[in-house]
Amino acid sequence: MAVTAEGARRKERVLCLFDKIDPEVAAFLQKLRRRVQIGVVGGSDYSKIAEQLGEGDEVIEKFDYVFAENGTVQYKHGRLLSKQTIQNHLGEELLQDLINFCLRYMALLRLPKKRLLSPLLQKEKIREKFVEALKTEFAGKGLRFSRGGMISFDVFPEGWDKRYCLDSLDQDCFDTIHFFGNETSPGGNDFEIYTDPRTVGHSVVSPQDTVQRCREIFFPETAHEA
């Protein structure tokens, strides 16, 4: 167990996993890293996660673990551990069927105004209808669909939700894995890992809420600071 510059012991066998990290809380997370190990698990690819964090390629140096694409691309302590691809898993034929269906569906959408699609996705419940259409079209094909972020949704093979990263963490023998996410209700892309018995799930609503939860657990002496 390491001792930090602040004099507190770092709990090497405690891991905090976050589904998304906003740049505004990045400094706090580096402080948290002096107490426990930290990681990020996202549905996006590595470049998108790095862009969201504003860290570029340095992101793998700022976190003990980085799990891109729900953990099918894994980094530990700055080093690439493994990489799986949806292309190899699904095969070209099914992948093209999926892409072609999505393109046709979007091309045929009828909206009050077809200018900028993103603001209408929530108002017209486009995402919900799109996901239901995909579930019907690809029933029995080994695919899962779930909400991701404000307007997007995730598509992945059965078993490739965010719990995928937990399988590799099993060998690291953590005493506790805390997971912080906002899409934790059924149908959200955090639901499976949030409810998994291997994690202590925390449903959060904002970056500030995430910081406050972490303060209460790991910095009780400062939990009520503004």
**Is the model more confident about 19 or about 150?**
19
Classify residue 120: in a domain, yes or no.
yes
Interatomic CA distance for residues 51 and 40, integer angstroms: 13
Alpha helices by DSSP H, listed for 81-147, are 86-90, 92-107, 118-123, 126-137
Residue 9 within a domain: no
Please state the rounded mean pLDDT for residues 113-137. Answer: 73
The answer on pLDDT for 172 being more than 90 is yes
One domain for residues 78 and 18:
yes
Higher pLDDT, 157 or 1: 157
Residues 186 and 133 in one domain: no
Does 1 appear as a known binding residue? no
Most confident among 80-89, 148-157, 205-214 (mean pLDDT): 205-214
140 and 30 both lie in a single domain: no
Answer yes or no: is pLDDT of 125 > 90. no
129 occurs within a structural domain: yes
Is residue 164 a known part of a binding site?
no
pLDDT-derived band at 128, boundaries 50, 70, 90 = confident
Last residue of a domain, one of 130, 157, 184: 157
pLDDT confidence of residue 81: 92
* Residue 212 maps to a domain: yes
Angstrom distance (rounded) from CA 130 to CA 153: 9
The string of DSSP letters for 43-79 reads SS-HHHHHHHHT-GGGHHHH-SEEEEGGGTEEEETTE
Q: Are residues 76 and 168 in the same domain?
A: yes
- What is the domain-level CATH number for residue 127? 3.30.1240.20
- Domain containing 46 — which CATH number? 3.40.50.1000
What is the mean pLDDT of the segment spanning 152-171?
89
Read off the pLDDT of residues 42-75 as tens digits, 9 standing for 90 and up.
988 888 888 777 666 678 889 999 999 999 999 9
Residues 54 and 165 in one domain: yes
Share of the chain above pLDDT 90, in %: 51
Token duo for residue 132: 């239901």
93 within some domain: yes
Check whether residue 46 and residue 141 sit in a common domain: no
Q: Are strands 200-203 and 176-181 parallel, antiparallel or unpaired?
A: parallel
What pLDDT score was predicted for residue 7?
Answer: 45
Closest of 177, 166, 163 to residue 217, by C-alpha:
177
Q: Is 196 annotated as a binding residue?
A: yes
Is 118 annotated as contributing to ligand binding? no
- Evaluate whether residue 146 is within a structural domain: yes
- pLDDT at residue 83 in the model: 92
The secondary structure of residue 138, as a DSSP letter, is T
51 and 138, same domain (yes or no): no
Q: How many domains does the chain have?
A: 2
How many whole angstroms separate alpha carbon 7 and alpha carbon 10?
Answer: 9
Q: 146 and 92, same structural domain?
A: yes
- Residue 46 labeled ligand binder: no
Does residue 124 have a pLDDT over 70?
A: no
Domain that holds residue 172: 14-85+161-222
pLDDT of residue 150: 67
Residue 215 or 3, more confident: 215
Predicted structure pTM score: 0.78
Tell me which of 134 and 159 has the higher pLDDT: 134
Is 199 marked as binding a ligand? yes
Question: Any binding-site annotation on 105?
Answer: no
Average pLDDT of the chain, as a whole number: 86
